[in-house]
Structure 1
Amino acid sequence: MIDSELFIVRAFIFLTVCCFTLFVGAQVTHPSEVGALKVIRSRLTDPKKNLDSWNEGDPCVKKWKGVLCPNTTSSDGYLHVRELQLLNMNLSGSLAPELGKLSQLQILDFMWNQIGGSIPKEIGDIKTLRLLLLNGNQLSGSLPEELGYLPNLTRIQIDENQISGPLPMSFANLNKTKHFHMNNNSISGQIPPELSRLPSLLHFLLDNNNLSGYLPPGFSQLPNLLIMQVDNNNFSGTTIPATYGSMKKLLKLSLRNCGLLGTIPDFSGIPELGYLDLSGNQLDGPIPTKKLSLNITTIDFSNNKLNGSIPETFSGLPFLQKLSLANNSLTGSVPSAIWENATLTRNQSLILDFGGNSLTNISRVVSPPANVTIVLQGNPLCLNPNQQNITQFCGASAGEQPSGTSVNATTICGCPVQDGYEINTKDPRQCYCAAPIRVGYRLKSPGIWDFVPYREAFEKYMTAGLTFEIHQLTIESFVWEEGPRLGMYLKFFPGNGSMFNSSEILHLRSAFAEWLIPDSDIFGPYEFLNFTLREPYDDGIFTTSKSGTSKGALAGIIIGTFAGAFILCAIVSIIIVRRRYTGLNAASRKRQTSRIRMKIDGVKSFTFSEMALATNTFSDSSQVGVGGYGKVYKGILANGSVVAIKRAEEGSLQGSKEFFTEIEMLSRLHHRNLVSLVGYCDEQDEQMLVYEFMPNGTLRDHLSGKGKDAPSFSMRLRIALGSARGILYLHTEADPPIFHRDIKATNILLDSKFVAKVADFGLSRLAPVPENSGVVPGHVSTVVKGTPGYLDPEYFLTHKLTDKSDVYSLGVVFLELLTGMHPISHGKNIVREVNVANQSGMMFSVIDKRMGPYPPECVEKFMALALRCCEDETDSRPSMAEVVRELDNIWAITPADDVVPTAAAKRTPRQTTSASSSLVHSTLYTSTDVSGSDLLSGVVPNIAPR
């Protein structure tokens, strides 16, 4: 650009800035805070560069994903930053000590990012701070003592980080703090008894840490404590203080898997108690006989050493949803009054799990209502021929917490052909189309076991807190997660018109992000996970603060600014267009050439219109799944091919370079046991991946009973072998090798012939490359990613990812195949449960009963291999090549107990099982999906672990 052009452009920028300065008025952010904000921003890595659009001198900038709002005027005449909210923006980097210079800050919100490093002690200097929200990051180190001297702090959330070290005793000074949410960290040591003097404490959530010592008896004196949840800690050798039975306001007490000894205190004196979980401890003695609160929904005393009989006082509890006394040493009769006196409505259910005790009979004839589930398996009464009508209860399982997805009612009208509009079927105005807003939401400590009967109550609670009409809310889906916690996707429709306006959007976001919705006794505290705006909403700046400029002056400034800008733009355009026109065609050709380079052999580039046509404009009826990346649709291409289309949500979009890098990597993976990439779409701010469609769904679907028939042992072994071969290909024959990092039952798909194919490489990492010395490192150092229950414990602790990390995850899948269980369910870990059963000689007691007959020798070998894969120490696990080799050996001795559902199955002889096997078939076969030809090389490579 020549000097005259540069001068004109600079003049234009200068004039625009001057006009904007007049527009915002005389007041500006305090200079020291402007400098602090620049440092804070520099320490954070923002992949989408959202932070670059923030001008620290602006009076107030609000975005739907981020809020920087200096709207507190102090005596010095400056505006001070009051809110710093950077929720769910995929930020990494670290927190700068300069945060302490934001002296008027009230809300510090960095939830659900990837920020590492430690929590700066300087945050303790912000005496105005009300909300400290750092949960869902990768923060490490210990908690600064200085945080205990924040006089106005009402909520501290640091859960789901990697915080270690003890709880500071200074926290006893937080007299206004109501919510302590520190679960899912590595906090260790004793709970400071000094916390017993906190006058405002409502919710104390420290589950899934490394706490030890004893439970402070003084907690019974906390005047307002509603929820105490400290599951999965290590209070070994200590007892539950008897004083906990006198917590007058307590709603929920959860002490699951804490190593506690002694007897169960009398909790009958807690008038509103709704949830009591003491499972997985070493409690002994009899169950207290006094009746618990009539509000109780959940009682879980399972997996202890309780003895004596089952009290009849468990009957007549009107809201009871689950009573579990399983795996104790209870004797005597099962009191039938517990279910005979139950008064259940149509959508209520009751689980009564008495399995694994020494119960000998039932007090009266068994005739429970249809919505009552009774489990008696593992008791002597199941072997008593005199007990009538109990066979159906001797093989039952307690079941899982019910989850569900809302389905819109059928309607004959349609919405405009415009993205983002839907029919609100709950609206009394029939066929009313509007653009909803979606909110990711999670109940952190609900006081119920089954959400279904409370669904309507939840809708009333939520809409009342937002001052909405009940028809404006739809629960799109809900699912129970580890904790147990209840995750939801909520969909809110505008009350008037077809769209929310900007002030309504900010009101809705603030209500969740600032916890303006009152807590509920039943539903407990909640988490705000994300706030999703799709078309037709604009991801832009919704509001700016008002200046003191008069309307007339403001109008003049605006008109003058636009006039000046127009004139300058015209001058600049004439000069630049004249000089640049000759190079336009060349630049266009260059861009087109660049685009052509993105074309990848064997992978088709689809247009957005092709994707919309294939999925009926991404209709709900085409949707077949949803994950962290976005929704998955079944699509039919113009050539008739059926495909699966993964459409990225707003927050999942990658940069163009990263997106095409992933596609290029996927295009090089070719193996019959890996899901094939068909193509992609990258236009109109949309990113989609198109895969071959897998009509038989996920492995988890079939293990959970969603398939038509439960898979037999032979079929499960074939699935295991196919999955292992796919992973072995990634480790040894992909170029370069790849570590999957997220192997789980929902990522193993089954095609029309039930051939297993590994899918979802979103978290995959390339294997280490040789160093300058030529030595290949044994691991990749990386941030821990994966799915709880499947994560390699050594990878979790060291952040060192190896091929053996995939071996561990696949071992968990093998255990799922054998048992049908989830990796984590009701606080129980599948690896630990199967290990305990195996070591006690009860291995066959955990085998999935839906599997049908199976050869014991083969099952034993498969179980032994699975447990070797799940060893804590990396070196004790087999390599993936050894896994495939051992599965091949087991397959060779497995009898042909079923017909493989594939026309490609070859009827060729296979070695019969040994005489010890209980199944022998005369017709034997080998299926093509487990032959050695599946690997590109045709053989299982004999390699050392990477």
Structure 2
Amino acid sequence: MWNHISGSIPKEISNLSNLKYLLLSGNNLTGPLPDELGYLPNLLILQVDDNNITGQLPKSFANLQSVKHFHLNNNSISGQIPSELSTLPQLLHFLLDNNNLSGHLPGEFSQLSSLRILQLDNNNFGGTTIPPSYSNMSELVKLSLRNCGLQGPVPDLSSIKHLRYIDLSSNQLTGMIPTNKLSDNITAVILSNNSLSGSVPSNFSGLRLLQKLSLDENKLSGSIPSSLWQNVILNGSSTLLLDFENNLFTNITGILDPPANVSVRLYGNPVCGGGNALNTAQFCGPSYGDVEPSGSSSNSTDSCPPQSCPTSEGYAYLSGSPVRCFCALPLEVSIRLRSPGFADFRPYIYAYNGFMTSFLELDRYQLVIDPYVWGQGPRLSLFLKFFPQSNENNISTFNSSELQLLVSLFATYSIRADDIFGPYELLSFTFLGPYGSVYLQLPKSGMSKGALAGVILGSIACSFIVASILVVALIYYKKHKQSQLEVPRGQTSSKVPIKTGSVKDFSFEELEEATSGFSITTQVGQGGYGKVYKGVLANATVVAIKRAHQGSLQGQTEFITEIEILSRLHHRNLVSLVGYCDEQGEQMLVYEYMPNGSLQDLLSGSKNSLSLTTRLHIALGSAKGILYLHTEADPPIIHRDIKANNILLDNNLNPKVSDFGISRLVPITDGEGASTHVSTTVRGTPGYLDPEYLLTHKLTEKSDVYSLGIVFLQLLTGMQPISHGRNIVREVSAACQSGMMLSMIDPSMGLYSPECIKKFMALALKCTHDKPEPRPTMLEVVRELENLITSLKDSGTAPSDLDASGSGVSLGIGIALPHVSSDKTAHDHELGEFMGSNLISGVIPTIRPR
């Protein structure tokens, strides 16, 4: 999982008759699913999500009589769902959301006697109805058919006693909402964005576990019964959202006095109109979507002396421990719940802790969930910290056998699924401190050593985990072998024994041979860190080798950071790390080679003749790479040194952001979803530095937005950020205020659309606002650039027809950006570029039925 595997899935896999787990998530796989996969008699999990799989679901999959999990979401699988799959006796989870499926929903699926989750969001079953037979799915826990183009009535699902979560939103459902009472286990009913009529039935009252009732954007009318919140029983951590926005409600029966943890939304209804006797004003303001809460289960240990627990090595005080201020080293495991059966995790934290610790035979206090984060889907990422049992003997780490057992249970997917929490996927292990040097031997079990080795190594050798082990080992090595790191070049130092997966550990001799002895003829660049050489590896791969100056070897932090970050970041607009060398007193990083150098080289070159379209594509690609860092990296990352020199260009002038040596991790967002800042010593390049960051030392994602805005101004003008006392932001702003904006445009651009230039300039100036608040987010930047490129294509104006004179065109500094639409009719799947990615790469669209 989560590598760069490309091509199609080979049919020869079907020869592995004992295969139980086929886990290929998050790669670049293309082509159809081979029919031959249907002849794997022992297959339990088929997990091929987040790829580019096309074609139809093979009918041969009906032969997989042992399969329990189909996780095929986020691909481009098309055609009809085969009704033959209704004969699978063990199938628990059927996840095919975000594909191109069409036709009708098979009514025969009601025969799936074990099915717990049916999740088919964002497909196109246009014009068809939800089969009434689905009310017979007696074991169903979650039904999610959001945005599928479905018509007809809402089915009566009241007979499904285990049902917890229903999402039928963004379809074309009509008629009235069924009046029979739903299961007492219901946590969420989401019917928004349909054409439902009639009134709110009383069956929604008295649902003790209900967290979310979304009926907004329909044609519902009459009165809203206040019994919906008067009869609900909520504990301190529970919330209830009742969304009735944009309907035709005229009244509320009963008293409008919902508890503090109940939110009622009435915006867009006649009941909010003037002259209404009810005091509804507090519920009638517009909302801006749901902010799903994230947080932590950890408790305060402020009373414990901080100097007594070496937090720099990963140790932490274990709150809730019977031994006060017990300091221990946790094993960190990151997982993601693929399809949880609730909308708010807070009431279920205690239950999840009990479920997990009971299975692992641990005490409750030994598990801390810190933090948990909601992502698209919705899916829930959990960062689990498992602590050793507290004791009076100050044994504060797991021993090797305990560590092995925990790793094995997660890596082999041996932790049973629970209906409310749904299936999980393993994202990473993090081995801190002394755990990094523990040799994980294969335990004796019913599974052969070879089979278990394949599963464990296949799970933990993904790039994120390798990066974690690598960083820990390098930090440990730095602390305990510092004297050996500072040996002169050419003398041998002891080398850290590191096993790598996607990032190769090169020997000094290999890189020396690749560069003809680091010949001056192979040097292609030089910076403060060192020199960059073009090299050709033994397998004929062309690479760029960044070799540290002897005096730069004390920059071990940057060296570790760049390996750590790049080895687990995979996006087509980020430069890829091929490997590294850390021997003979050397620090070298090996990257994919970018034949067109940097954007700075191109803009300052004598033969620069980039068209407006090319410049926009460079801007968009750069923004997508940074958007990935801000929203998809786990945890998110602030680059901190965006500049034209750090945007490299391949053969086709596709941009890739590089140089992560001084990047910083973004702190977890607070409970309101707002990002907090990082307080840090100012680092970066003059001319590109965010003024607010320079003054306050508070670093946020908006600091990267500012720096990228400077790059946009360079693309427009060809100027340097600072040159001969001229500041690019002041120069361009002054020209815009005086109506001379087009006089600033790079004359080598050729013919262009003044309207497009005007909008691009407005975006650049908004990005470079002195204060971070008015700046757009990176997502808004990407959307605006996509709109610009689309409008340029849709205009059908040939370059020769464009007016380059610029007469009569001006741009005021206060110009507002045009409305940005997120609607897209196409699916943009670039997942697989990140280990355990929570979001679709690039723009995050509202997916419309295809």
Q: TM-score, normalised by structure 1?
A: 0.55
Counterpart check, 1:441 vs 2:335:
yes
What RMSD in Å do the two structures reach over aligned CA positions? 5.2
**Once the 2 structures are TM-superposed, how far is the Cα of residue 731 of structure 1 from its aligned partner?**
8.3
Written as runs of structure 1 = structure 2, the 5 A alignment for 1:523-672 is 523-538=421-436, 541-543=439-441, 587-588=490-491, 601=527, 656-658=588-590
1:755-777, CA deviations, whole angstroms, 9 ceiling, x for partnerless residues? 99xxxxxxxxxxxxxxxxxxx9x
Higher relative contact order (CA closer than 8 Å, sequence separation 6+) = 2
Structure 2 spans left out of the alignment, 5+ residues = 445-486, 493-507, 531-547, 570-576, 582-587, 605-622, 624-638, 647-658, 678-700, 721-729, 734-749, 751-756, 817-850
Larger radius of gyration: 1
**Once the 2 structures are TM-superposed, how far is the Cα of residue 817 of structure 1 from its aligned partner?**
9.4
**Kept after mapping to 1: 8 A contact 2:123/2:147:** yes
**What is the aligned partner in structure 2 of residue 404 from structure 1?**
295
Counterpart check, 1:288 vs 2:186:
no
Aligned with residue 509 of structure 1, among 389, 402, 407: 407
**What is the aligned partner in structure 1 of residue 24 from structure 2?**
134
**Once the 2 structures are TM-superposed, how far is the Cα of residue 387 of structure 1 from its aligned partner?**
3.4
**Once the 2 structures are TM-superposed, how far is the Cα of residue 366 of structure 1 from its aligned partner?**
1.0
**What is the aligned partner in structure 2 of residue 242 from structure 1?**
132
**What is the aligned partner in structure 2 of residue 199 from structure 1?**
89
Q: 1:819 to 1:264 in 2, by over 3 A?
A: farther
Written as runs of structure 1 = structure 2, the 5 A alignment for 1:208-607 is 208-397=98-287, 399-405=290-296, 409-410=301-302, 411-413=304-306, 414-416=308-310, 419-495=313-389, 497-538=395-436, 541-543=439-441, 587-588=490-491, 601=527
1:43-62, CA deviations, whole angstroms, 9 ceiling, x for partnerless residues? xxxxxxxxxxxxxxxxxxxx
Distance in 1 between the 2:249 and 2:23 partners? 49
Amino acid at match of 2:332: R
Distance in 2 between the 1:373 and 1:123 partners? 52
**Kept after mapping to 2: 8 A contact 1:667/1:677:** no
Q: 1:609 to 1:500 in 2, by over 3 A?
A: farther
**Once the 2 structures are TM-superposed, how far is the Cα of residue 272 of structure 1 from its aligned partner?**
1.0
**Kept after mapping to 2: 8 A contact 1:374/1:396:** no
**Once the 2 structures are TM-superposed, how far is the Cα of residue 236 of structure 1 from its aligned partner?**
0.4
**Kept after mapping to 2: 8 A contact 1:630/1:652:** no
Q: 1:470 to 1:870 in 2, by over 3 A?
A: farther
**Kept after mapping to 2: 8 A contact 1:190/1:214:** yes
**Kept after mapping to 1: 8 A contact 2:667/2:676:** no
Amino acid at match of 2:340: P
**What is the aligned partner in structure 2 of residue 912 from structure 1?**
none
Q: Percent identity?
A: 43
1:596-649, CA deviations, whole angstroms, 9 ceiling, x for partnerless residues? 99996556999899998x9xx99xxxxxxx988889xxxxxxxxxxxxxxxxxx
SS in 2 for 1:495: coil
Q: 1:421 to 1:444 in 2, by over 3 A?
A: same
**Kept after mapping to 2: 8 A contact 1:677/1:690:** no
**Once the 2 structures are TM-superposed, how far is the Cα of residue 474 of structure 1 from its aligned partner?**
1.4
**Once the 2 structures are TM-superposed, how far is the Cα of residue 140 of structure 1 from its aligned partner?**
1.1
Distance in 1 between the 2:266 and 2:798 partners? 39
Aligned with residue 662 of structure 2, among 690, 704, 717: 690
1:291-318, CA deviations, whole angstroms, 9 ceiling, x for partnerless residues? 1101000000000010111112111000
**Once the 2 structures are TM-superposed, how far is the Cα of residue 458 of structure 1 from its aligned partner?**
1.0
Q: 1:123 to 1:601 in 2, by over 3 A?
A: closer
Distance in 1 between the 2:75 and 2:765 partners? 25
**Once the 2 structures are TM-superposed, how far is the Cα of residue 424 of structure 1 from its aligned partner?**
2.3
Distance in 2 between the 1:723 and 1:486 partners? 31
**Once the 2 structures are TM-superposed, how far is the Cα of residue 113 of structure 1 from its aligned partner?**
1.7
Count of matched residue positions in the alignment of Structure 1 and Structure 2: 595
SS in 2 for 1:542: coil
Q: 1:239 to 1:447 in 2, by over 3 A?
A: same
**Kept after mapping to 2: 8 A contact 1:670/1:676:** no
Amino acid at match of 1:494: P
**What is the aligned partner in structure 1 of residue 39 from structure 2?**
149
**Once the 2 structures are TM-superposed, how far is the Cα of residue 545 of structure 1 from its aligned partner?**
8.3
Range with greater deviation from structure 2 (697-706 or 178-187): 697-706
1:469-510, CA deviations, whole angstroms, 9 ceiling, x for partnerless residues? 222211121111111100122111223632223322222122
SS in 1 for 2:60: helix
Distance in 1 between the 2:343 and 2:767 partners? 26
Q: 1:256 to 1:871 in 2, by over 3 A?
A: farther
**Once the 2 structures are TM-superposed, how far is the Cα of residue 123 of structure 1 from its aligned partner?**
1.1
Amino acid at match of 1:425: S
**Once the 2 structures are TM-superposed, how far is the Cα of residue 112 of structure 1 from its aligned partner?**
1.9
**Kept after mapping to 2: 8 A contact 1:160/1:183:** yes
Distance in 2 between the 1:269 and 1:465 partners? 31
Distance in 2 between the 1:179 and 1:246 partners? 21
SS in 2 for 1:537: helix
Q: 1:467 to 1:599 in 2, by over 3 A?
A: farther
**Once the 2 structures are TM-superposed, how far is the Cα of residue 726 of structure 1 from its aligned partner?**
2.6
1:683-725, CA deviations, whole angstroms, 9 ceiling, x for partnerless residues? xxxx97236x99xx999999965689xxxxxxx9999898544
**Kept after mapping to 1: 8 A contact 2:154/2:173:** yes
**Kept after mapping to 2: 8 A contact 1:240/1:262:** yes
**Once the 2 structures are TM-superposed, how far is the Cα of residue 273 of structure 1 from its aligned partner?**
0.5
**Kept after mapping to 2: 8 A contact 1:600/1:667:** no
Q: 1:817 to 1:328 in 2, by over 3 A?
A: farther
**Kept after mapping to 1: 8 A contact 2:47/2:71:** yes
**Kept after mapping to 2: 8 A contact 1:203/1:227:** yes
1:769-790, CA deviations, whole angstroms, 9 ceiling, x for partnerless residues? xxxxxxx9xxxxxxxxxxxxxx
Counterpart check, 1:165 vs 2:63:
no
Distance in 2 between the 1:360 and 1:140 partners? 53
Amino acid at match of 2:98: N
Q: 1:150 to 1:587 in 2, by over 3 A?
A: closer
**What is the aligned partner in structure 1 of residue 830 from structure 2?**
none
Distance in 2 between the 1:305 and 1:367 partners? 29
Amino acid at match of 1:118: S
1:417-449, CA deviations, whole angstroms, 9 ceiling, x for partnerless residues? 872333223422222222222112000000000
Q: TM-score, normalised by structure 2?
A: 0.60
Distance in 2 between the 1:214 and 1:330 partners? 27
**Once the 2 structures are TM-superposed, how far is the Cα of residue 866 of structure 1 from its aligned partner?**
7.7
Distance in 2 between the 1:877 and 1:472 partners? 65
Counterpart check, 1:112 vs 2:5:
no
SS in 1 for 2:77: strand
**Kept after mapping to 2: 8 A contact 1:283/1:305:** yes
Distance in 2 between the 1:688 and 1:817 partners? 25
**Once the 2 structures are TM-superposed, how far is the Cα of residue 184 of structure 1 from its aligned partner?**
0.7
1:205-243, CA deviations, whole angstroms, 9 ceiling, x for partnerless residues? 111111100000011111111110000001001000001
Written as runs of structure 1 = structure 2, the 5 A alignment for 1:728-747 is 728-729=713-714, 733=718
Distance in 1 between the 2:97 and 2:796 partners? 30
Q: 1:628 to 1:484 in 2, by over 3 A?
A: farther
Distance in 1 between the 2:312 and 2:182 partners? 55
Range with greater deviation from structure 2 (214-223 or 376-385): 376-385
Amino acid at match of 1:480: W
